[in-house]
Structure 1
Amino acid sequence: MVRGFGRRNMGRRGIGLFGIIYLAVGVLVAGTHGYLVAWNIPGNILEGLVAIVLWPLVALFGVDFHALIA
């Protein structure tokens, strides 16, 4: 028997479907909570990126990154 014949490479590439959905929900939550309004100030850019990545804290627990980072 030949090892690996007919098997797909199980190596990871990119973020995958779950990652895309997670970031899409993050953008949606950050947009509805006012984090994607004015990206001309470095602090606002940082707030927006943090809100996108940590969207469960914003959506479920009401954490306000405007007050924490500014």
Structure 2
Amino acid sequence: MADRPEGGSAETRNQDTRRRHCNDQGEGETVEETIAEFHTLLEEHEQEVSGQLRDAQPKQDG
């Protein structure tokens, strides 16, 4: 199995983010900030999945 990037899995990061979001909701987090954070997490997830797919592809003889 491919090594996980430093900082844990996307699942762990998402759980941590959800906890922070729940804790911060009463502190005036705006919709725009939430959307920006979502896009950041989505980009990180896409990069992680892309790397895993690249690692899973069979190596070509060259």
Report the TM-score range of the alignment, normalised by the length of the smaller protein: 0.3 to 0.5
TM-score (norm 2): 0.33
More helix by share: 2
- Greater CA radius of gyration, 1 or 2? 1
Q: Which has the higher contact order (CA 8 A, sep 6+)?
A: 2
